[in-house]
């Protein structure tokens, strides 16, 4: 007897090992539970053939019934999942609790007569024999497994008739474990004049059937196979974020393309560091307009060989959990071959290329002049901020100069130049503010102030549209951030997004100091200009509340230069 059970156990372990080798992240969890429970039950049967005491025999029964009490539940759940029939979460939980109650009755064997009663044990012809009379809980066990059988068969028949997208081969295979396990509990499969319990063999047959199902089932899941195939063939990288731009995860390809991902923790807000600005810009642009979701990302060769650079199309979309939007996902697709083919074509007409570049520079200059003229026009509508653009631009330049000298933030030179260039555009959104509000000769009412506050997000939108087709993605990002977030506060009480601390882009934090300083020392229709001492007191007290405290040292060094500059103006 023990030889038979030993062979069955060995085969069940081999089948489980094959399943582990085949395992795929898209496998149904109920498959895994089946391949876990069957070897455990087979261990119980093997031990039951070796025991010599009643106590040992009862323990073996408790091990065997781990499979008996739960296996049919997981078989039924797997049937419903494969048939694409949803079982409410509450129902699944209730069924598991019922099975757990049945098994708790099994654990009372030998102490209560709920499951077994009138138990006796003997060794006959060298083989252990456990004689028992079933109790009421065992009757409930039969009722439960019969209910599971009927539920499984009903789902298979329904799917056979009504569901064309459920493979017939899988439905036929699902019948086998559902039926034979229940029949084995009623001793339908038995050998005359033998004490062998064939339930363990039936379990192994069920395992084998599930191996056949597992081998085929993922091929029918178009969503998962398409994703896996696309990722492997296209060498696609993925990065995901929630709606608060907290980093959720990425695959290995994305980590190779964006090395900065190695330094960020899961759930950390992405975009706080200058090295994150490019990826953050993709997300910010998509947030402004979800139709603007295609970008280009270049991975430069570490040896400086431009011919070995890789060029990727970057696609931003919403991240879905079922039908719910849960965040954003960025996809990188290698487009190097196409891009380099285009570059190769370009080399055939170098003269034309140079002419295009010359005209492009001219267009950029015209573009910049147009933007500056637009900013000046907006300022001309505001009767309280004359000269504000020029003064704040100089203030930003002085602050950037001192930040660079300090060296703590290590801002790239190109980034610093972009901030200075973007500074005149910070109030561009006022173009959308009604004249009645913008030109009001006095303080705003709450309603008017709410309208005025819209200029920040509106400015980002306007700049995004103006710079939509620019090749200078870095400047575009900085310009949008300066306009969008220069009224955010370090403590999170600013507008329009209520960003807090380092979630506010550094360019906007710098702009905020220059903007407020100019407002303090300049005359407005609703106030006189503050003297330098008062302005300095307000700015200093605002460090850590309104302003980034890490910029305090740079501001203090910039203060004499700011006072010298403002003091040289004929009118503030």
Query: What are the pLDDT digits (tens) for 269-285?
Result: 877 676 677 788 888 88
Calculate what percentage of the chain has a pLDDT beyond 70: 82
Report, as an integer, the average pLDDT of 386-415. Answer: 86
In the CATH scheme, what is the code of domain 351-567?
A: 1.10.3210.10
The lowest-confidence range among 42-51, 146-155, 379-388, 544-553 is 379-388
Report, as an integer, the average pLDDT of 384-390. Answer: 68
| Residue 113: φ, ψ to 5° | -100, 25
User: What is the rounded distance in angstroms from the CA atom of residue 117 to the CA atom of residue 227?
Assistant: 56
DSSP string covering 332-382:
EEE-HHHHHHHHHHHHTTHHHHHHHHHHHHHHHHHHHHHHHHHHHHHHHH-
User: What is the rounded distance in angstroms from the CA atom of residue 546 to the CA atom of residue 555?
Assistant: 14
User: What is the rounded distance in angstroms from the CA atom of residue 65 to the CA atom of residue 58?
Assistant: 11
pTM of this structure: 0.45
The lowest-confidence range among 1-10, 249-258, 299-308, 389-398 is 299-308
CB-based contacts of 252-256 (< 8 A; 24+ apart in sequence): 253/332, 254/330, 254/332
Fold entry, domain 2-220? Rhopdopsin 7-helix transmembrane proteins (1.20.1070)
HEC letters along 442-468: CCCCHHHHHHHHCHHHHHHHHHHHHCC
In the CATH scheme, what is the code of domain 233-347?
A: 3.30.450.20
Residue 560's pLDDT band (cuts 50, 70, 90): very high
- Domain boundaries, given as residue ranges, for the chain: 2-220, 233-347, 351-567
How would you classify residue 387: left for phi > 0, otherwise alpha for psi between -120 and 50, otherwise beta? left
| Structure tokens given for 161 | 């008739």
Do 2-220 and 233-347 have matching folds?
no
The lowest-confidence range among 209-213, 437-441, 494-498, 540-544 is 437-441
Residue 431's pLDDT band (cuts 50, 70, 90): confident
In the predicted structure, residue 557 carries a pLDDT above the cut 80: yes
User: What is the rounded distance in angstroms from the CA atom of residue 493 to the CA atom of residue 95?
Assistant: 50
């Amino acid at each position: 007897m023990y030889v038979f059970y030993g062979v069955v156990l060995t085969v069940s372990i081999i089948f489980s090992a094959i399943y582990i080798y085949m395992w795929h992240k898209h496998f149904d969890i109920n498959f895994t539970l089946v391949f876990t429970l069957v070897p455990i039950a087979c261990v119980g049967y093997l031990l039951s053939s070796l025991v010599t005491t009643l106590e040992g025999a009862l323990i073996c029964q408790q091990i065997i019934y781990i499979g008996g009490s739960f296996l049919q539940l997981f078989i039924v759940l797997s049937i419903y999942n494969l048939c694409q029939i949803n079982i409410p979460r509450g129902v699944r939980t209730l069924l598991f609790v019922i099975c757990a109650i049945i098994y708790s009755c099994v654990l009372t064997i030998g102490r209560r007569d709920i499951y077994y009663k009138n138990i006796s044990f003997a060794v006959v012809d060298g083989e252990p024999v456990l004689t028992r009379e079933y109790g009421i809980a065992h009757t409930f066990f039969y009722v439960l497994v019969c209910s599971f059988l009927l539920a499984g068969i009903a789902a298979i028949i329904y799917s056979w008739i009504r569901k064309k997208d459920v493979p017939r081969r899988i439905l036929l295979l699902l019948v086998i474990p559902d039926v034979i396990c229940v029949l084995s509990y009623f001793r339908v499969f038995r050998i005359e004049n033998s004490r062998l319990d064939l339930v363990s063999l039936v379990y192994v047959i069920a395992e084998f059937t599930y191996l056949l199902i597992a081998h085929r089932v993922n091929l029918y899941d178009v969503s998962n196979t398409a994703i896996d195939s696309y990722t492997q063939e296209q060498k696609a990288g993925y990065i995901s974020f929630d709606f608060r731009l907290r980093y959720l995860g990425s695959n290995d390809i994305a980590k190779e393309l964006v090395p900065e991902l190695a330094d960020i923790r899961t759930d950390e807000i992405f975009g706080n560091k200058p090295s994150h600005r490019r990826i953050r810009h993709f997300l910010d642009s998509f947030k402004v307009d979800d139709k603007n979701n295609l970008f280009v990302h270049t991975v430069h060769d570490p040896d400086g060989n431009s011919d070995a650079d890789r060029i990727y199309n970057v696609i931003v979309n919403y991240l879905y959990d079922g039908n719910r939007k849960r965040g954003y996902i960025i996809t990188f697709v290698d487009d190097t071959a196409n891009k380099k083919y285009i570059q190769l074509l370009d080399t055939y007409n170098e003269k034309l290329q140079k002419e295009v570049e010359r005209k492009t520079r001219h267009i950029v200059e015209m573009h910049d002049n147009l933007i500056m003229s637009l900013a000046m026009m907006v300022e001309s509508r505001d009767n309280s901020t004359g000269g504000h653009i020029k003064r704040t631009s100089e203030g930003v330049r002085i602050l950037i100069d001192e930040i660079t000298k300090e060296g703590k933030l290590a801002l790239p030179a190109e980034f610093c130049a972009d901030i200075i260039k973007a500074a005149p555009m910070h109030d561009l959104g006022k173009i959308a503010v009604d004249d009645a509000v913008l030109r009001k000769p006095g303080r705003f009412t709450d309603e008017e102030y709410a309208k005025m506050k819209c200029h920040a997000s509106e400015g980002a939108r306007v700049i995004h549209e103006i710079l939509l087709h620019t090749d200078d993605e870095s400047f575009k990002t900085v310009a949008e951030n300066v306009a969008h977030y220069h009224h955010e506060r370090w403590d999170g009480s600013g507008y329009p997004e209520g960003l807090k601390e380092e979630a506010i882009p550094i360019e906007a934090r710098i702009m905020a100091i220059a903007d407020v300083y100019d407002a303090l020392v300049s005359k407005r229709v609703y106030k006189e200009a503050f003297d330098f001492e008062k302005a300095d007191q307000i700015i200093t007290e605002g460090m850590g509340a309104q302003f980034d405290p890490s910029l305090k040292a740079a501001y203090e060094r910039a203060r004499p230069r700011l006072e010298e500059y403002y003091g040289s103006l004929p009118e503030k």
